[in-house]
Structure 1
């Protein structure tokens, strides 16, 4: 996490998780600039290393082998990661637009978004085809296609290197699966026209029986065929677009100087029209040294880009980027064989594939092998115990940072109480609750959204209709000119949650501190008797509406052990509002609570203690977040885990192991846990699943006081 003792004075925003930006983040993590907040904006938690895509398609590499984990890199760099697709940049106001959230302000901006092979102008392609870029949708579609049976009919639109490589890779994969395949490559011109190794590559295609259709432009894509000029129809179960990748359309609307849709940059990688904007990779046009589109130039530009961004921020001298005139081109030939070409000299064979494999592996290893992050050291002369308290993993954010049940025993008088209070106001009953979260991510908007949902949990759990909210926002120390933009992001994110629930934000307070902390005091109106902890009856079914594991995933992210996909999935679940779930459960529940800091076991224990009952839970039925079981098995624990485990003592029986440990994991914006009449449970779970919740009946309420997980 960022050093909270240094005030923030500048905003650096990186748009796109391309190769250059990935390398910039690594360099930044090794040598950050104090006082600068770095933001990376990317549609997903990972970015593909395209050099390994044909190998993945052919079955030589698993998907994770070619994915650059941006969550992990952002953590290493102390940067915030915003998951979203930029649709506009305003270089005058210096704002970046990401749909669904407040604009992102910047002092310095860099763009590395690559190019796309989407074929939006080809009728039917969006509905029936899939572009080779971006990777996510294509990889998912390809994985599903490989699970099929019988003959495979594949059409690749685009006869350049990308299309030819993919066609051979797909043919190789089908051969490995024992499926007969009809693969064809379609191009409006000549396949590989003008390429110095055309003859060798055509021979390799013919070795797989790949058909070439040349001089025929596609007119439209149907559900099972590609229709070409001249009336020819190519039957295909999978249509892949790899025709001449093009720039992203939105970039041309941003007011910068462009050439054929590409941002024009100078020899220092700055926009020639807006010098506070940098660019690298396939999305730029190098005005001083035009080059073809190739990932090698993004990789070579990264050190210069990193240096120049730093130079602008600290007032140093920038450097010039001088790309090489020619470069080695390595083309996969389907199997573990490749063709190498440079300056017209061509060599092919298994040795070239091994060479390519080593180059690719070295690049990816460089982004995975990150230096160990060291925590703060105790100051000289510190009291005994300070060093041991500061040793080990940094304290968690979210609910993992809350006080344990043991610390609250005296406040609660030794008995569990509902987290919200019921007030009688002029004949109406109103529920009031307050909650806050220590920042669990560098993005205050994400923390604000989750904090709003987390605060509403107590209102939903009592079956009340959310009514009003007061905000309490602590932001890190920063320049006065930055405070408004930060607060706008926080309140826009929280406001969207509250507006969807019909809640009026009626005011609040703000201050500066050492780190982001966001909370809300919320009220709700009761239109029926409140659903409390006390009311569960033996025989009731126990229903949980969200998977558990947020604490261990967030702790794993802090230690850079969780994958980007696992973290993004946890963020999504934490950001899922529960108003719809409460509407299903409140009318039928005998008792209900939201599962938060005390974990599933602790909050179930509160219901049992208040209701004078016990419970039996089938661990196999408890929904678990992606990655949580793996991380638990590695021994990852949230800060609050040990206190949660100790607080329950002998009241709960839990089997040893990773899954059993997760029932003590503190949850941030966790699910609702309800005791429902057994005859109403099946319908309730079905309704919850239909509404998009990972709901399940996880156990039953029993006689006695014992809680058993088995």
Structure 2
């Protein structure tokens, strides 16, 4: 929970090494009153030092990736998974590709570089760039998996990076049983121009040892699907064409009005650009006072200076420090076979122990992002009322639907409410939405709100809007209008205005996509961010939960697991064999996917329909069974799950609402003790629809859902008997 009001916005553009280290430092010692935002296209960022080892097969992908979602949680920052495409310096806003702008008081740029070669014909369609690293790593794994007997690889650029990746590629393919043909092209007359003579000789010998063909003075002019054409007319066969040639800045920097050097942001000793409110670090920056080649070592050593200077600027206290890069640095170049060549000041060493040394350095760096220190929690007061510790529970309260009251407690609370007296009101307390008869149709009215589970309030706005409209769609209605209810944490008036602007812009777009409008609302200041919407809809025919018939097919339109994944992210739980940030990003993608099309398809033939939300799949299926006077059978193997959800459930990870969901069905559900069965009780936020379909219509409806790109699945059948669920 936020302790102090927010007064300043710091936006970090990119998840490069300098920003990653800065976020870790920030988590250890945050500056009160600052809202930190990191914007990055993906939930993870690769560590460059381990890339050649990954290409060679020595490191798993997850071992070289920094989980930005987990890092942002530790730092108390919001992470926005989007791409920066511009800066409006006059308005103090960063423009994003996928949504409205984000405001800043101070900003920092650490977006890396690209090794794309757009001037070469065919490159965009058939070439792979070593930078950004994430896309290259994925493309390489897919290529290795093809299992070609004689894979042909052409690498453009014979600098240190090109040589290192050529050696790694040859080693990996040979270890896989292939007979690789790796060709390294250098357009200049000499390979490895920025390394000492001794190290150059050692690396050239490694190329010869691995059978890598080096061609200097060779310039590629066209990349085809299976070949690289050179300016002399020669054509080289290539199954995988990689560019490591040069370094290119991102194009949008040219539109910022900042002083640039060859397209890179020009910064002085304090790492400030020509605009004092914008800093830059890493490969995207050019040190005007001490120009250096592009290398990760400089980004790492810039991080403490960047962190200190941003804190000085944000607090308006203290003096900034200057960054003075070292004149030369130790280059440890891996050779693919767990060997390395060292170069500094022209001295050269080559030995396996150098690889082990490099491996220890790289693993020590990544260990800083593998587990974060646990911040001390305040002790319970003493004395205190009986039951205080039990009411607090063993873990933090989940957000989203995981923060809702359990089904049993809710039923007891609503039991004493009187039935509606107005004959036009067709539903009573406990229904998901009110249905009001209006002429020849029906008005459907519902309200929902969510306690924030992510600091990205734009993301929360879209998820909450879709979640609130779920009950409208589930009753066969179309959304018409919405009122917003927003509780903001304490912050300055300017930050209040910017936060509301972001929330309402995303919400308005989401409702407009659904054919509805926001017509007003209410705001207040509270302890934490909460977003809610009251929504009205219109239906010519209302689909209730009580129409399921024996023999109907049960269909689910979204995978389960959002509650478990969000609980794991809040607790900082490691995902076995994977990256939790990517799994959480998958959950976000599922939650932000509009179910409007699925609802339109299902309402044509569903006998019963509901959205799967806080009470979990089992709880909402039981509502259908109770209302219809039927039982149900589920096939656990057919129920779609979000990636990572089952692995986390196997560790015992669960939302705070899951135990109440399970308890509400004691004696009415039979299921094995498995992770997949545990997810039947997982509370879903902006979940999918659960529909009962006549068997005769199931095939055509499923075909329509799948054709529309909806990940629907048949998960069971409606059976005869008293309300009860059997999961096998």
Normalising TM by the smaller chain, what interval? over 0.9
2:211 corresponds to which residue? 209
Question: What displacement does 1:228 show?
Answer: 1.3
Aligned residues: 706
2:423 corresponds to which residue? none
The structure-2 alpha-carbon separation of the partners of 1:5 and 1:381, relative to structure 1 and needing over 3 Å to count, comes to farther
Question: What displacement does 1:631 show?
Answer: 1.0
**Please, which moves more after superposition, 28-37 or 679-688?**
679-688
Are the counterparts in 2 of residues 377 and 390 from structure 1 also a CA contact under 8 Å? no
1:517 corresponds to which residue? 530
Question: What displacement does 1:381 show?
Answer: 4.8
SS of match in other structure, 2:164:
helix
Cα separation, 2, equivalents of 1:373 and 1:633: 26
1:364 corresponds to which residue? 366
Question: What displacement does 1:691 show?
Answer: 2.1
Cα separation, 2, equivalents of 1:412 and 1:615: 26
The structure-2 alpha-carbon separation of the partners of 1:316 and 1:389, relative to structure 1 and needing over 3 Å to count, comes to farther
1:551 equivalent to 2:563? Answer yes
1:132 corresponds to which residue? 130
CA displacement 1:555-577 (0-9 Å, x = unmatched): 00001115110110001101111
Question: What displacement does 1:379 show?
Answer: 4.0
1:686 corresponds to which residue? 703
- Structure-to-structure mapping, 1:412-561, within 5 angstroms: 412-413=414-415, 417-527=430-540, 529-561=541-573
2:419 corresponds to which residue? none
1:35 corresponds to which residue? 33
| Cα RMSD, aligned residues only | 1.5
SS of match in other structure, 1:546:
coil
**Please, which moves more after superposition, 662-671 or 212-221?**
212-221
CA displacement 1:413-462 (0-9 Å, x = unmatched): 49995311221224432211111111010011010000011011111111
CA displacement 1:532-578 (0-9 Å, x = unmatched): 10000110000000110100100000011151101100011011110
**Please, which moves more after superposition, 367-376 or 48-57?**
367-376
- Structure-to-structure mapping, 1:233-248, within 5 angstroms: 233-248=235-250
1:617 corresponds to which residue? 634
Question: What displacement does 1:505 show?
Answer: 1.4
1:650 equivalent to 2:675? Answer no
Are the counterparts in 1 of residues 159 and 194 from structure 2 also a CA contact under 8 Å? no
**Please, which moves more after superposition, 46-55 or 216-225?**
216-225
1:75 corresponds to which residue? 73
1:181 corresponds to which residue? 180
2:726 corresponds to which residue? 708
- Structure-to-structure mapping, 1:653-668, within 5 angstroms: 653-668=670-685
SS of match in other structure, 2:699:
helix
Cα separation, 2, equivalents of 1:23 and 1:367: 9
**Could you list the runs of 5+ residues in structure 1 that have no partner in the other structure?**
none
1:278 equivalent to 2:279? Answer yes
The structure-2 alpha-carbon separation of the partners of 1:375 and 1:543, relative to structure 1 and needing over 3 Å to count, comes to farther
Are the counterparts in 2 of residues 418 and 532 from structure 1 also a CA contact under 8 Å? no
Cα separation, 2, equivalents of 1:683 and 1:153: 46
The structure-2 alpha-carbon separation of the partners of 1:612 and 1:413, relative to structure 1 and needing over 3 Å to count, comes to farther
2:265 corresponds to which residue? 263
**Please, which moves more after superposition, 668-677 or 378-387?**
378-387
Question: What displacement does 1:411 show?
Answer: 4.4
Q: Which runs of 4+ in 1 moved over 6 A?
A: none
- Structure-to-structure mapping, 1:5-154, within 5 angstroms: 5-149=3-147, 150-154=149-153
SS of match in other structure, 2:84:
coil
CA displacement 1:606-653 (0-9 Å, x = unmatched): 000000000000101100111111111111111111111111121111
Cα separation, 1, equivalents of 2:549 and 2:179: 60
The structure-2 alpha-carbon separation of the partners of 1:603 and 1:7, relative to structure 1 and needing over 3 Å to count, comes to same
SS of match in other structure, 1:650:
coil
- Structure-to-structure mapping, 1:583-594, within 5 angstroms: 583-594=600-611
Question: What displacement does 1:387 show?
Answer: 3.6
SS of match in other structure, 2:50:
helix
**Please, which moves more after superposition, 411-420 or 464-473?**
411-420
The structure-2 alpha-carbon separation of the partners of 1:194 and 1:554, relative to structure 1 and needing over 3 Å to count, comes to closer
The structure-2 alpha-carbon separation of the partners of 1:255 and 1:498, relative to structure 1 and needing over 3 Å to count, comes to same
CA displacement 1:112-132 (0-9 Å, x = unmatched): 111111222222111111111
**Please, which moves more after superposition, 111-120 or 359-368?**
111-120
1:310 equivalent to 2:285? Answer no
**Could you list the runs of 5+ residues in structure 2 that have no partner in the other structure?**
417-427
Cα separation, 2, equivalents of 1:404 and 1:603: 13
Are the counterparts in 1 of residues 22 and 304 from structure 2 also a CA contact under 8 Å? yes
Are the counterparts in 1 of residues 411 and 430 from structure 2 also a CA contact under 8 Å? no
Cα separation, 1, equivalents of 2:52 and 2:565: 32
**Please, which moves more after superposition, 383-392 or 452-461?**
383-392
Cα separation, 2, equivalents of 1:169 and 1:427: 71
**Please, which moves more after superposition, 252-261 or 192-201?**
192-201
Question: What displacement does 1:206 show?
Answer: 1.2
